[in-house]
Amino acid sequence: MAQLFLSLDELPLHCARAILKECAEHIHGIKLLDLILRYGVEDLRLKLFPGIFSNGEILPVFADLKVLDTKLAVRSTIQAMVDYGIEYVTVHPDPMVVETACRIAEKSSTKIIVVTVLTTDTAIGQANWQEHDRRVAERADIALRYDAYGVTCAVSDLSELRKRFAAKLRYVTPGIRERLDDPHEHKAPADPEKAVREGSDMLVVGRPIREPRVGVAPADAARSIRLEMQKGERH
């Protein structure tokens, strides 16, 4: 079953906590970047999660770091994520980075996600699609070669990736928008039903929940997306 991760990027901590508390029952985890860089993992968890669930539950964290550095720095970064129990970490598709990250994380619960393309990339709508497909498949092949958990990709890439790699990888799709939503900077947006129908395992949604249409509460926006996801599951 596909999971919904809420992106809490670009928010002050108090706003992120308020939205998380409102939407927690409708999501499976949260995606973070700038809040991790600002507060650090340990301090952020202490500030973000207490009181969200009555049983003290902490949602899985997707650290969208897109790690790219020297081998030593990659080892250190991924080891820190492992030590803090971060569930998902994104890395650049450089073979050395992917291999190093996967080796550090292989005996832990931390899962490595390889970035194949940024859905904000202006080239998505302009590039030669054969070249685009080749590049995405090449990066997914690197992920598979080193036993990464999965890849991030556009929903429009899912059909070809599923044909080539089937369920050997998990597929994470940003740029999710309901039909009436502003696509913002995303060049290949797709609605939740289509994303799930095409084979997405994890949908990452930010502004459509954090900044929903007038008259719609964040919790209602999250609930609506979950309902659309369920429609996709039935196809």
Distance CA 235, CA 216 (A): 27
Distance CA 220, CA 25 (A): 11
Catalytic residue at 66?
yes
Other Cβ atoms within 10 Å of 170 Cβ, number: 19
The dihedral built from the CA positions of residue 161, 166, 168 and 169, taken in this order, carries a sign that is positive
Catalytic residue among 66, 111, 187, 194: 66
Asked if residue 124 has pLDDT above 50, the reply is yes
- The whole-model pTM stands at 0.91
Averaged pLDDT, 168-196: 77
Contacts of 167 by beta carbon, 8 Å cutoff, 6+ apart: none
Other Cβ atoms within 10 Å of 148 Cβ, number: 23
Asked if residue 46 has pLDDT above 70, the reply is yes
Q: What is the total count of domains within the chain?
A: 1
How confident is the model at residue 21, as a pLDDT?
94
Contacts of 138 by beta carbon, 8 Å cutoff, 6+ apart: none
| Structure-block tokens of residue 136 | 């995405």
CB 204 within 8 A of CB 7: yes
Query: Bigger pLDDT: 129 or 7?
Result: 7
Q: Per residue in 58-111, pLDDT tens?
A: 899 999 999 999 999 999 999 999 999 999 999 999 999 999 999 999 999 999
Averaged pLDDT, 150-168: 94
Give residue 203's Cα distance to chain centre: 7
Asked if residue 120 has pLDDT above 70, the reply is no
How far apart, in Å, are the Cα atoms of 215 and each of 23, 206, 212? Answer: 16, 18, 8
Asked if residue 55 has pLDDT above 80, the reply is no
Give residue 78's domain range: 3-234
- Residue 51's domain is classified under what CATH number? 3.20.20.70
Asked if residue 122 has pLDDT above 70, the reply is no
